[in-house]
Amino acid sequence: MKTHVKVIVLAAVTVVLLGCSLTNLGLPAPQSIPPSPVVIVATPTPLPAGVVTNADAEELLLINVYKRVSPSVVNISVIAQDPLNSRLASGFVYDTEGHIVTNHHVVQDARRIWVTFFDRIQLEAQVVGSDQDSDLAVVKVDRPPDLLNPVDLGDSATIEVGQRAIAIGNPFGQEWTMTTGIVSAMGRVFPQQSGFSIAEIIQTDAAVNPGNSGGPLLDSYGRVIGVTTFINSPVPGSVGVGFAVPINLVKQVVPQLIATGHYAHPWLGITGRTIGQELVDALHLPVTQGVLVEFVDPEGPSIEAGLRGGTREVEIENFPEPVKTGGDIITAIDGVPARSMDDIITYLQHTVVGQTVDLTILRDGKEMHVSVILDERPGR
């Protein structure tokens, strides 16, 4: 940065007479004159016009997204069966029929639910349907269609790491708060309390906190790309690692919740372990990648298809529990490589109950194919 400085300097002239002083000449002694101040005038370095234009454009983009989407975001207040578990959260308007999308864990065990809109109108809501395995829920309010502002749904299959991510919600009860960041990772797989997992979770560094749950995660166009669901933090606040259910899963689950109050998740009925180098070395496996089938549920569809689970337990150093070996090894599902159990979970998230999938397996060192008709997960 360059700074232009104007300095005003007063020159002082000193008269020197050899062997005498001004006093000796009969002249009055000079008075002490304070030095004149140095005046510095700093001129800010001008920014290139393009930098300012770009900054203004980004500000305007975010302002526009907030103005367009905030009327679609709601504040949800839940009075739980246990009053100590009452909570504040977020949601968004899904359609003009009064359906609002939020998280399952927001409405779980709710006794009463209140929805507050951007215009400060508060209405009581009823649960239409809720799904623990996807952590999605739909509640409904009675409000005229012309006063409802549904969101635009994006496509989570097209999301790229590094693109802008915008969250609008009610962190700590601070209503209609916008935070921004980027999509910091894709394809996360997280287990739920039910023991099943959600795949293709979106990770973002946009600040999300308690109260953001159920609110929308948006792209630069203001389209919903995910439903904010939880944070991964050692303290009760954001450290830049937040997660959202992908909008494409919302598109699968929500219409069924509205229609029937229930979503049927497909199920293979197996417990598998991702094969890594430690397993390869310890068990002398014939492959370096795949899924070792440890258990096949006797009530599940895979047992009917003839898939085999492990037959003996082996203690392996650094493993918290014995590994059941001797079962089939799955290497692909419908021709898609299954390098890990997460790959199988992710693939199944795009299937439906009743669909037949082809498993490529290794049994006794030989490649085989097993066809499984997917059943619905138990306990639903």
The sign one gets for the Cα dihedral 327, 332, 334, 340 is: positive
Q: Which distant-in-sequence residues (6+ apart) come within 8 Å of 145 by Cβ?
A: 96, 97
Largest CA distance in the chain: 126
DSSP secondary structure letters along 93-151? E-STTSEEEE-HHHHTTEEEEEEE-TTS-EEEEEEEEEETTTTEEEEE----GGG--PP
Spatial separation of the C-alpha atoms in residues 227 and 215, rounded to whole Å: 6
Query: How far, in Å, CA of 259 to CA of 265, rounded?
Result: 15
User: Exactly one of 105, 197, 265, 375 is catalytic; which is it?
Assistant: 105
Active site residue 105: yes
Active-site hit among 135, 205, 219, 375? 135
For residue 213, indicate whether it is catalytic.
yes
Rounded to an integer, what distance in angstroms lies between the CA atom of residue 154 and that of residue 225? 5
- Active site residue: 72, 90, 213, 238, which one? 213
- If residue 366 lies in a helix (H) or strand (E), which one and from where to where? strand 366-373
135 in catalytic set: yes
What is the set of active-site residues? 105, 135, 213
